[in-house]
A and B are shown apart, each in its own frame.
Chain A
Amino acid sequence: MRNLLRDERSWVVLVLALAAFIPVLAPMLDSPATVGLATRIAIYAIAASSLNLLLGQGGLVSFGHAAYFGLGGYVVGILYAHYISEEPFLGFIPGSNDLLVTMPLAILVGGIGAAIIGALSLRTAGVQFIMITLAFAQMLFFLFVSLKTYGGDDGLAIRRVAPMLGMNLRDPATLYWLCLGLLAFWLFLMDRIARSRFGRILAGVRQGERRMAAIGVRTYPYKLVAFVIAGMGAAMAGALMVNYARFVSPDMMHWTKSGELMVMVILGGLGTLLGPVLGAAALVGLEYTLAGLTEHWQFILGPILVVIVLFARGGLMGAVRRIAGRRLPHEAQPLPPGELPLGELPSGELPREPARHG
């Protein structure tokens, strides 16, 4: 049992299983808004988790992740517009309102967008990389602002959502379960990737590019593939968001949205599996709660975030682990009794501090 609790994956399963009961419990608690809120959390959790692959695993500070979120959303919105007008997109791609068609296309377009932006951005590093990813995202934002055909600033509304595989996606509970299911699938994927050979290289990129070169790894292709996978995840989340909100606008790819996704990842716990989910829940939940109290809610949200980041090292996941009495993965293990590292300590050389956390 204790071992089970030590494994982050069992926490994920537990959280997702409990979350599945929300549509059943919400009417009993007489709060019908809860299902919608939970849907948004699940969608943002997918987007935040995809950013976490770059930020948490690879140490790549991409500050334009909302670009792929918005791209995925616009694929759904634009295909719907052409479905209504019955004019094929670019003269040969027929419109659609079927999520089975639009979501795979959204993921594809998100992946292609990330491949192009990533191929150029990943030639830089550090602050340059942050600025160039931000610049690309803002370019896309202004492109869609100026696209009057697709609503420009005002965006596009989606009125008729088609059922998918017999699921009525207009029913809030059904849409929620779909989003939760896709979140579960995405987290499973992220967990496998983190443990795989590819994931080991990505973790190596975060901790030391110089070391990676010295063991013979050219890191660029790995970073690019991670970028594409992350872009696809964000685009999937964007497609879901547009189906949920029945609306898409350039705001989805505004830089503040990229910032929100980053806050979710850092707030929840960088490089953890459950962290981005907790981060999304905390941010969306706080926004909702505070906005109900006062219109100056951002004034309160800011300090709360600062306090959490300052005092909960490792974000919410770090706090959860400390409460559960679990050591962080890179925290010191005690030496077995009677076992000294090299038999003796060289004179004049102090032992390294045993722990960095706690």
Chain B
Amino acid sequence: MADPVLSIQHLVKRFGGLTATDDLSLEVLPGELHALIGPNGAGKTTAIGQIMGEITPDAGRILFMGEEITRLSAPARVRRGLSRTFQITQLLEDETAEDNVALAVQARSGHGFRFWGDASRDARLREPARAALDQVGLPKARWAIPVADLSHGERKQLELAVALATGPRMLLLDEPMAGLGASESLRMTEVLRGLKGRIPMLLVEHDMDAVFSLADRISVLVYGHCIASGTPERIRHDPQVRAAYLSEEEAV
């Protein structure tokens, strides 16, 4: 078996009396799309926060590309190739869609201590930004629109474009389908399918159709603990999973 891209070992995070992450271990293999599912409050977003370095775990280790990153800051992890999207979009509201992506391209290209040239006319920033927008399928007519005026679905697409523009070696996707309409959801699924195999992904998602059609492996999180991990087929028939989580999801 190939070395994992991301390896989480015995991660623990407590908030007061609440154990949000309880001895969580998880691996994402090269080229794999690994889905993380679980009921609300299972600690999925908290796990992503710890992998990204936004939340400091109380115990455990995080290895990325074989190197320990547990104590690195979030920006340092991004520079190593980790990139995330947010469930509640975090975008620069005054800037246009293209400006948002171009800033991510700029961040990847090195330091920003350049005080002179007009960044909005810099083809080295603009071309990769447009490529990323194209990749996520945001229509060209919407590229010059300020983020504050984009629809929810467009903002979700833009989140992904910004994450792609950082040049990730792995993507952490926090509910990219949340709040999307049925057709938007399908579109996003197709975009992710297009990325699959090229970039390993850890996908947190409630849309079970999307999860079961995309994932190579699924891990199920309940109360911060991973109760099962395996292929979609195995998870679908796992009695423990059915009892804990999928019982309400008759459609699956």
Residue positions of A touching B, CB distance < 8 A: 192-193, 195-201, 203-204, 207-208, 210-218, 221-222, 225, 329-333, 335-336, 339, 341-349, 351-352, 354-356
Kindly provide the distance from the CB of A214 to the nearest chain B CB, expressed in whole angstroms.
6
Which chain A residue lies CB-closest to B154?
A: A341
A197, B145: Cβ atoms closer than 8 Å: no
A214, B118: Cβ atoms closer than 8 Å: no
Asked if A207 meets B142 with Cβ closer than 8 Å, knowing A201-B112, A349-B181, A351-B151, the reply is: no
A195, B118: Cβ atoms closer than 8 Å: yes
A335, B181: Cβ atoms closer than 8 Å: no
Determine, out of B76-84, B196-204, B212-220, B234-242, the stretch whose residues face the partner at the interface.
B76-84
User: What is the CA–CA distance of A77 and B221 in the complex, to the nearest angstrom?
Assistant: 68
Could you give, for residues 141-171 of chain B, a 1 whenever the CB lies within 8 Å of some chain A CB and a 0 otherwise? 1101110111111100000001101100000
A330, B146: Cβ atoms closer than 8 Å: yes
Kindly provide the distance from the CB of B92 to the nearest chain A CB, expressed in whole angstroms.
4
Partner of B149, one of A216, A221, A222, A352: A352
User: What is the CA–CA distance of A215 and B117 in the complex, to the nearest angstrom?
Assistant: 21
Please tell me if B26 contacts chain A, counting CB pairs below 8 Å: no
B141, A330: Cβ atoms closer than 8 Å: no
A341, B142: Cβ atoms closer than 8 Å: yes
B107, A216: Cβ atoms closer than 8 Å: yes
User: What is the CA–CA distance of A324 and B26 in the complex, to the nearest angstrom?
Assistant: 59
Partner of B99, one of A200, A211, A331, A356: A200
User: What is the CA–CA distance of A339 and B99 in the complex, to the nearest angstrom?
Assistant: 21
Asked if A214 meets B78 with Cβ closer than 8 Å, knowing A196-B118, A198-B115, the reply is: yes
Given A341-B139, A341-B150, 7 more pairs with CB closer than 8 A = A195-B119, A196-B119, A200-B112, A343-B183, A346-B181, A349-B181, A356-B149
Which chain B residue lies CB-closest to A354?
A: B149
Chain A residues with Cβ below 8 Å from B75 are 212-213, 216-218
A199, B187: Cβ atoms closer than 8 Å: no
User: What is the CA–CA distance of A211 and B142 in the complex, to the nearest angstrom?
Assistant: 21
Beta-carbon contacts under 8 Å, B181-227 to A: 181-184, 187
Partner of B141, one of A204, A212, A335: A335
Chain B residues with Cβ below 8 Å from A355 are 149
B106, A200: Cβ atoms closer than 8 Å: yes
Chain A residues with Cβ below 8 Å from B149 are 332-333, 352, 354-356
Write 29 A-B pairs (CB below 8 A) sorted by A numbering.
A193-B115, A196-B119, A198-B112, A199-B115, A200-B112, A201-B103, A201-B112, A204-B95, A207-B92, A207-B94, A210-B54, A212-B75, A214-B74, A214-B86, A214-B162, A215-B83, A215-B104, A216-B79, A216-B108, A217-B75, A217-B107, A330-B94, A331-B146, A333-B145, A339-B141, A341-B153, A344-B183, A349-B181, A352-B149
